[in-house]
Structure 1
Amino acid sequence: MADLLNEIIFIFQRLTWLSLLDLALVTLVFFVILMVLRDTQANVLMRGVVLVVIFLTVLTSLVNLPAFSWLIKTTLPALLLAIPVIFAPEIRRGLERLGRAGYSNLFNRRDEAAVQAMQQTIKAVVTACARLSARQHGALIILQRADGLQEYVRTGVHLSARVTPELLLQIFYPNTPLHDGAVIIADNRIVAAACVMPLSSSGILNRSPERQMGLRHRAALGSSEASDAISVVVSEQTGAISIAHNGRMIRRLDSERLENILLAFYQPSEEQGVSLFVRISHWLDFLRRPED
């Protein structure tokens, strides 16, 4: 133990600014990896791998076990090669988020007419969600942003109709042909209905204190994980309105709060600074409010 302490002291004595920069970069890499894996099933697996590696490293350092040390050194490269395979979905999701960064600022400029059309679409969606919530009719509405959703549009029924509250109410009326599945809205039009969306595998809904959230909520969260789309979901059991974006879900929204957050997401590019501030303010306000 004394030798170990002496080695630790010797390492600290040799630290330089370059060494500290090196350690900071390694820490940043691990921090980014943990952020990408946050709130996913892979996060638990990653913790297990880290604990095993730390335990084996300490064990081989303190105790002289030549055969065991040789086995660890031989299998460690294979384990490192297996990590990209194990965490492939999370790595893909993280790279997609990185690729989408700044897209709206560079390419998503809208004129005044487009902004007004988007505001009318949002008001129609909010009005429909409020009525669906009052009647406890389940609904899933996906609002496309920069990422295309054509692969999911092809799974549903093509409509290409104007967004109105009455049409959305009719689509999600129970036991009608189109009520099961998602409505995809793009360019202020209802592109398709009864679309099959990807289900979330992050495990966030499994940790919820309530168990009423079923396939609609999983599909809403999965859609926000697979793209930059905004998912609005109405619970069939409770009538609660939720919104999902970027793998996060905010629940128990009223119509006013839903409209505010949707408007914040679709501000024109010249108002991106204000939009970001408004969006952060709304999210902090949502997080501070207790769930009833």
Structure 2
Amino acid sequence: MWELKDIIFNIGIFDIIDIAIVAYVFYKLYQLIKETRAEQLVKGIVILLFATKASELMQLHVVNWILRNTMTVGLIALLIVFQPELRRVLEYLGRTKFLIKTNGEDIEKIDLIVEEIVQAMTSLARQKIGALLVFERETGINDIIQTGTILEAKITRQLLINLFIPNTPLHDGAAIVRSGKLMAAGCFLPLTENKFLSKELGTRHRAGIGISEKSDCISLMVSEETGAISMAQNGKLYRDLSEEALRNFLLKGLRKEEDSKGFFKKGGIFK
């Protein structure tokens, strides 16, 4: 009890900073693994740690030996199992940048492009024409862009609609947006490895989710069966978006003033 009081009364400013840094790191790590397979694995590890300590206190020697050896071997297995999440953490660290103030011209440019995209997606949805549109952000996806046909075109609703009309040369695959331009169309995306998705989701939605798992991009999908609009970000799928919800999602995701990841720097969505 007295030791605890001594610790509390002797805490200095650097101790507080130390604790704050550790707390912030754990919080950001939790955000990165939240609602992913890694979250369930972390819970399992915590249970094993408690079980190992409990078996030691209760002097269950055989159980404790098994648990301790399981944890030792498990460290190697964790590096393999957590490979996608570890890559996301490293990519997050690599693209973290200081906040840059967004000026009025940038915001106006975003608003205009978002409106063109929203009108194109809602038009495709009404006609039940399948579409897949991906926005590159801080993590470059040039390898994906190179799988398609390079366009480097200005974004207009007419162009987007024409791209996805069935039986046209570029209607299959994804269209990629980079730096406020339609960079390429007919691109091939990696499929998600998530085994818990609904069976009713087709290849288009699985591809949209897959690319959002491997980068920080935003992907939009229009279902050709139902005409529903969906969005994927960080491996999460948001389904049946209304026109207003789609607009709000895009504005929130693309406006620099609401995201500090440097969208207007080199490699961002808009320059």
* Fold in common (TM above 0.5): yes
Aligned to 2:248: 260
Give yes or no for contact 2:191–2:203 (8 Å, CA) kept in 1.
Answer: yes
Deviation, structure 1 residue 150: 0.7
Aligned to 1:190: 182
Q: 1:96 aligns with which of 91, 106, 113?
A: 91
- The equivalences for 1:149-228 within 5 A come to 149-202=141-194, 206=197, 211-228=199-216
- The equivalences for 1:36-115 within 5 A come to 36-65=32-61, 69-70=64-65, 72-74=67-69, 76-102=71-97, 105-106=99-100, 112=105, 115=107
Amino acid at match of 1:214: G
Amino acid at match of 2:78: I
Most deviating of 87-96 and 71-80: 71-80
1 CA distance for matches of 2:110 and 2:159? Answer: 17
Give yes or no for contact 1:41–1:201 (8 Å, CA) kept in 2.
Answer: no
Matched, 1:250 2:238: yes
Aligned to 2:269: none
Change in 2 beyond 3 A, CA 1:261/1:70: closer
Structure 1: gaps (5+ residues): 1-11, 277-292
Deviation, structure 1 residue 195: 0.8
Matched, 1:232 2:228: no
Q: Which digits, 9 at most, give the CA deviation of each residue in 1:123-148, with x for residues without a partner?
A: 22111101110011111111223332
Q: Percent identity?
A: 35
Most deviating of 73-82 and 161-170: 73-82
Q: Which has the larger radius of gyration?
A: 1
Give yes or no for contact 2:191–2:207 (8 Å, CA) kept in 1.
Answer: yes
- Aligned-residue Cα RMSD (Å) equals 3.3
2 CA distance for matches of 1:37 and 1:162? Answer: 36
TM-score by length of 2: 0.77
| Equivalent pairs, count | 252
SS in 2 for 1:200: coil
Deviation, structure 1 residue 38: 2.0
Give yes or no for contact 1:40–1:201 (8 Å, CA) kept in 2.
Answer: no
1 CA distance for matches of 2:65 and 2:138? Answer: 50
SS in 2 for 1:148: coil
Amino acid at match of 2:171: H
Deviation, structure 1 residue 185: 1.4
Give yes or no for contact 1:39–1:202 (8 Å, CA) kept in 2.
Answer: no
Greater RCO, CA 8 A, separation 6+: 2
Change in 2 beyond 3 A, CA 1:54/1:142: same
Structure 2: gaps (5+ residues): 260-271
Q: Which digits, 9 at most, give the CA deviation of each residue in 1:91-120, with x for residues without a partner?
A: 2112322333345x24x85672x5544333
Aligned to 1:144: 136
2 CA distance for matches of 1:164 and 1:23? Answer: 50
2 CA distance for matches of 1:82 and 1:264? Answer: 38
